[in-house]
Structure 1
């Protein structure tokens, strides 16, 4: 049976036997072997995408801090351009003046309103030009306008057009950026660095402060090379050295911020990627392992985890392993704790296939539990009252009917999948002398969260492995704080 080490030990260093130390060193060696196999299972780019998504969940940064972190990611590009963009924007004339669009509409409106200063700048493809009066009655004549020569004339001789209300209105919906997005991005960056435009930097500052950190991460981090990502992490870490109490480690976001706050240079990037994979992407790793192409890796991990569980079951103390972690750099020690927790995640997913196995695990690890009824929760001696209102009865009947249908469909889908884990079913519990329905889908209320949620076979491995990691981190944090 897996020993989860959820109860803190008060052993002193002199109380630890040499045998305990050797077991701990053997465990560390096995966990490093596990790390090697996991790296053969995932790609580096995949691991980076995972950590980008995890970092995007950070919520503690102020708008100012967020802006400072992302300001360093902007890069300079050269300006480009061609005639195609001019034609795309300004040649949208129609045979009726009512349907001119985008730049064409702006050009025609400005030309009529300010015909005394710009009509002569219109270039026509025919043998002669057209007068305002003729074009007003026959707007399809605009289709004969030489767009490229006309725009060139306006650039040189009609500067008022480019700051006019007509031209501004054509740009207001932002469609112009879809003509060629890269050109406008490059042009904007040129204004930032080559001309150091104050107006542009004000727009950037406002955008970075108002946009969510999550969106900025998801759109900007993916463009970074590894050195740039390391620089981003170092910049981010400046704002994550906040005071944390051990209880915070039950919160995934706080835990991530603590881990990142210990980041120091590119040598730690592999450890961060691996730690993120085993803590926040544990289920994805299991799915990868169960692919047909990963049979070799699964066999190796199964063997390694079996040895890890064997060692854990032969000792009652986590102190030797924790001491070994404390000898490492902070990030390295945290990585070992993360690998240990994922090893338990894997073991529980593979070995706990029956209600009896789960309840034995709970009992052996000091976890109080109650069976959870999927239709109505029974708390201790509390029973369903027979004098409930008629309305409650009808509502309950409808809920039961829907859930029964859903349960039948679920059982039908999984009836041929003997190797599926996380979907074990329980019959009605006839051993309990108290009346009332008992759990049919293998779900429990646990003391780990104050009996507040119903945990099923599918969710328990991840829940307990994260509980282990956060518990061990509390102990490690207390020791690191004492050393500091």
Structure 2
């Protein structure tokens, strides 16, 4: 069960064994073929989402480059209107007042929004207060204010539910009379006979907070798309620029990239690549998306398929394992298992990774990174299949030069509970209250322990590495490792991903420096 992790550069000296190298590549090609078939058997949307999630983790795009990147995407011919619609929904959600500012400037366009739509009319204009006139809200406030200011020309258009109308003088002293206004008929009159109202300052003021967006976002999305592309409204594009600079890159990616077609996603990756190649900063190796930054800054991407595969076997190793176990048939599962076994067996020689390193140093192409990615996933799969005990993990650490310290936090918790339980059981004091109090503390500790177990159990169930995940968790133990300077406690479940990623990151870091 020995697995060589190749964590030391001294293990990578090439002995010129081309036959070993070709055998390794053939096995990795077979593994790639089976995995790709499983990844795409139900369509490609899920694996594309995995890639979008990894892109969202890129941390080295500056705010100004971020703005330029998404503005280019918003103005690209193929995707612009569909992408703009998605972007505007995010803008409306995060910055409704900025959107409201634009609506207020184009308030006359809302005539068509209300015309022939009683539901919208009542939603916006029926908010009259039963108290003072200051309590009127939304369109009701705009309607009453405009009616008073321009009473000489529009008061006759107010329709009242009672037998007779109300005069301005009466309503001025008793603003709650507006509750008797027939709102629908009044607004319909204003649409027909008072066109000036729709471009008035009173109506515009009611729109500035953006609350009107809640009535029908789809209408306003279409309105803004036309303002962006037909009218090329500079103020709107200014708001878009400002928003794109301020909004986190991850948020923009999560909301926008998911709707892109693969051709559009490739275009986006090309744009990112140009920004990354022009920068001077060193890649942060601790970033979960650093490998993608390395590839985009140093390699030419010829196919989106290459990125989808490489992302799945590195950043989404756990998701890919789940896919193999849940979606693969028996033959496919056995094939993956057999190939991985051969890959790891052929990796027992310390110098067997050297040819791949040499090939990278000569060609600097994506193919070499793909071999390394497949190798790391093979290690991940093998660990998930066979490493179930503390002894097996500690043997792996020792044989690969990984320093480790055993974490005793859970054992200490259990010992503490045991001592309290014993003390409580043997307490023969005269008061039952003491015994009850200790029992209460014991129950609380049991609940806390249960929550810890539930937390770890969920991770085990998600990975599906054991039928009795909790037993595996506590038997396998927890360690502090030299791979991250002993800064984190790793459970056996977390180690599956950590070790394989650490291998891949170490290899990539070596070949690019």
Q: TM-score, normalised by structure 2?
A: 0.74
**Equivalence for 1:406:** 449
Contact persistence 1:353–1:421 (CA under 8 A) = no
Contact persistence 1:337–1:472 (CA under 8 A) = yes
Aligned to 2:303, the other structure's residue is in SS state helix
**Deviation readout 1:173-198 (Å, 9 max, x if unpaired):** 32211222122112112112212222
Mean Cα displacement is larger for which, 337-346 or 290-299? 290-299
**Deviation readout 1:305-359 (Å, 9 max, x if unpaired):** 1111111124543112334556777233222211211111111111111111112
**Equivalence for 2:49:** 49
Return the alpha-carbon distance in structure 2 between the equivalents of residues 472 and 270 of structure 1. 22
1:42-441 equivalence runs, <5 A: 43-74=43-74, 75-76=80-81, 83-84=116-117, 87-92=121-126, 96=130, 100-122=136-158, 131-133=167-169, 135-136=171-172, 137=174, 138-143=177-182, 145-155=185-195, 158=196, 162-164=199-201, 166-241=202-277, 242-243=279-280, 248-262=284-298, 264=300, 267-291=302-326, 295-314=330-349, 316-324=351-359, 330-374=365-409, 402=445, 406=449, 410=453, 419-420=467-468, 424=472
Return the alpha-carbon distance in structure 2 between the equivalents of residues 334 and 142 of structure 1. 72
Contact persistence 1:90–1:107 (CA under 8 A) = no
Return the alpha-carbon distance in structure 2 between the equivalents of residues 316 and 264 of structure 1. 28
**Equivalence for 1:392:** none
**Deviation readout 1:123-171 (Å, 9 max, x if unpaired):** 679998653245555323412633223134332xx25x6341x324422
User: Closer, same or farther in 2 for the Cα pair 1:149/1:327, shift >3 Å?
Assistant: farther
Contact persistence 1:374–1:441 (CA under 8 A) = no
User: Closer, same or farther in 2 for the Cα pair 1:346/1:226, shift >3 Å?
Assistant: same
Return the alpha-carbon distance in structure 2 between the equivalents of residues 456 and 149 of structure 1. 71
**Equivalence for 2:25:** 25
Aligned to 2:3, the other structure's residue is in SS state coil
Aligned to 1:239, the other structure's residue is in SS state helix
Return the alpha-carbon distance in structure 1 between the equivalents of residues 332 and 191 of structure 2. 64
Contact persistence 1:41–1:289 (CA under 8 A) = no
Return the alpha-carbon distance in structure 2 between the equivalents of residues 418 and 61 of structure 1. 41
User: Closer, same or farther in 2 for the Cα pair 1:179/1:303, shift >3 Å?
Assistant: same
Return the alpha-carbon distance in structure 2 between the equivalents of residues 314 and 420 of structure 1. 35
User: Closer, same or farther in 2 for the Cα pair 1:148/1:92, shift >3 Å?
Assistant: same
Deviation at 1:226, TM superposition (A): 2.0
Aligned to 2:240, the other structure's residue is in SS state helix
Aligned to 2:346, the other structure's residue is in SS state helix
**Deviation readout 1:186-228 (Å, 9 max, x if unpaired):** 2112112212222112111111112221221122222222222
Return the alpha-carbon distance in structure 1 between the equivalents of residues 272 and 47 of structure 2. 19
Contact persistence 1:50–1:276 (CA under 8 A) = yes
Q: Is 1:2 paired with 2:6? A: no
Mean Cα displacement is larger for which, 124-133 or 204-213? 124-133
Aligned to 2:472, the other structure's residue is in SS state coil
CA RMSD of aligned residues (A): 3.8
Aligned positions, number: 438
User: Closer, same or farther in 2 for the Cα pair 1:196/1:37, shift >3 Å?
Assistant: closer
Contact persistence 1:250–1:467 (CA under 8 A) = no
Contact persistence 1:94–1:143 (CA under 8 A) = no
Return the alpha-carbon distance in structure 1 between the equivalents of residues 291 and 466 of structure 2. 37
**Equivalence for 2:421:** none
User: Closer, same or farther in 2 for the Cα pair 1:210/1:59, shift >3 Å?
Assistant: same
Return the alpha-carbon distance in structure 2 between the equivalents of residues 359 and 269 of structure 1. 39
Return the alpha-carbon distance in structure 2 between the equivalents of residues 263 and 18 of structure 1. 25
Following TM superposition, where does structure 1 have runs of at least 4 consecutive aligned residues deviating by more than 6 angstroms? 77-80, 123-129, 411-417
Return the alpha-carbon distance in structure 2 between the equivalents of residues 292 and 275 of structure 1. 20
Return the alpha-carbon distance in structure 2 between the equivalents of residues 51 and 210 of structure 1. 23
Q: TM-score, normalised by structure 1?
A: 0.78
Mean Cα displacement is larger for which, 323-332 or 100-109? 323-332
User: Closer, same or farther in 2 for the Cα pair 1:68/1:418, shift >3 Å?
Assistant: closer
Consecutive unaligned residues in structure 2, runs of 5 or more: 75-79, 86-108, 413-440
Deviation at 1:371, TM superposition (A): 2.0
Return the alpha-carbon distance in structure 1 between the equivalents of residues 191 and 451 of structure 2. 69
Consecutive unaligned residues in structure 1, runs of 5 or more: 378-397, 427-439, 479-484
